[in-house]
Structure 1
Amino acid sequence: MPRAETLIKMASEVIREGCLAINKPCGMSSAQVIRECQIVFSPSAVFKPLIGSELDRARNVKGYATGKRLKRQKPLVKMGHGGTLDPLATGVLILGIGSGTKALPQFLNCVKTYETTVLFGASTDTYDRVGRIINKRPYEHITKEKVLKAMEAFKGKQKQVPPLFSALKMNGKPLYEYAREGKPIPREIEAREVEVSELELVEWYEPGKHNHRWPAEEAEAAERNIAEQVWRLKKQQETSKNLTPEEKEEDNQAIEAHENFKRKFEERQDSLIKDQPPRSEIVRKSTPP
């Protein structure tokens, strides 16, 4: 065999793994980005050695699907994402391919820059405009000067509590069950430390001078009740006792359950954003926010 053909054959057998950055458009969940990439990558000869390696490894695992079930399963490139961008967010999404998925956690500690629009007067269960309203407050007294002054308090190191969906569990029980049973929440989920190095007000719109709107759907009474309990506990957190190792482990499990719930929420949203795409198509256009 000629030398050139030998080199080409050797190159075609290389297992290609690692990380890459995707500029995620508005309207796609992080999970949907992975599925779209798998649709494009999996049939490619470039990733054939990787898929073959994964299949060989999986066949050695006890209980691996065999026979007709195995034939029905289409092999896909193993992929994951480091961190999650909400469907409405645009920006950099780090993807891992093959063993590159093991390197994804290190990207969670990188310095990140965010630009967002804040609409005063209402709060939602997801902290964004795709959630349901759980509370409304007067906002006519809010001015640009007051916002600039309040922003100073958000700079530096802060304790940040993640968004609490009603499906998040505490002591093995979903939070919404505490509300339905009329029982208090046992304690607050431990806040995580974050650091804001820069904070800037880019634009200010007076009421009636913009097109942003609150969500149309409001949360049920039980969900509003649980939100009020969470906020009260959050205010008491500074004077509360430190968590034991067992409580910290339970909190970590609760955060993981929260992330799993969020992923399922994204998958349900996918069906509203885009039906099952043709195998030859990948979404490239971004819809306006």
Structure 2
Amino acid sequence: MYSKLTPEAENWLNRLPPVQPMNRTIHVFIYGIGRSGTSIVSRILSAHPSAIYFHEPFLPKIKLSGVQWEHPHLDIYERLYNCNFSGIIPDLPMYHWKNSVPFSVWPYVEFLFGMKLAPMVTPVVFSRLVRNEAFMEKHCSKYSIRVIKEPDRMPIEDLSPLLNDFPDLKVIHVWRNPVDLFRARSDEVWCCGSCKNITHLCKTTEDMLGRSFEFSKSFPNRYINVHFDDILRNPREVIDALISHLEIPPHQSIEDFAEKMLRRNIPPASTSDLPPLCQNAAERLEWHRRNTTLV
């Protein structure tokens, strides 16, 4: 780990494209159940040339002995938003060991894109750059829009201290029909146990809806609900409304990237033969969508 710029890191700082400065810093936290559309919303926002995006910065580290689940202290989020990487780089999944190639380090692809370093740097160069705290801080500090995304492995209750402790933070909670969630998650290698139980998924959605109403009342204009179905139906309108709500300057790159990301055919959910709990969750979520939509 390096606390000062190495000649290589300084050279890369000078080679990277310039970033248009803004007169204020915008902090955005994106949250939702895994496969709800959080990554799509994050990548759309990070398409702005003044944005940097940290994709699931506290994803549990993969070790030879298995998966180690550790939940971070919330103050580490504040350090990330302030581009203070001192002492926290080993906890971030910006690079990982590739077991098929002994002693090799490969970058986590979402971090390469989010940090605007792909496809400019090779995996080997990236693994050295991210160990340099000075490089990380100087590179991050160029960007005035700082986006962090965490899925529901972070308890929803932690959104309250986040919003209380960081008064300029805006949280985007992305929602998706539990049937679509179940369909999108069930074939993933990381999805096991309760993840493959649709009743558990529906109960989680129900519980989150209850907390959502509390957050909307306690943090108006800072806790923002976005429904994935709305993005699919009216992508331009929803994204324009979201950008306006976050006070992010409009940019053509966001529209272009959104159009590319959403140019796909996603089949509608089938709600037949659902357990009663899931029928109720789907109905409550639809009511929530109609009453919290941005457009």
Q: TM-score, normalised by structure 2?
A: 0.22
The answer to which structure has the higher helix fraction is 2
Q: What is the TM-score when the length of structure 1 is the normalising length?
A: 0.22
State the structure with more CA Rg.
Answer: 1
Higher relative contact order (CA 8 A, sep 6+): 2
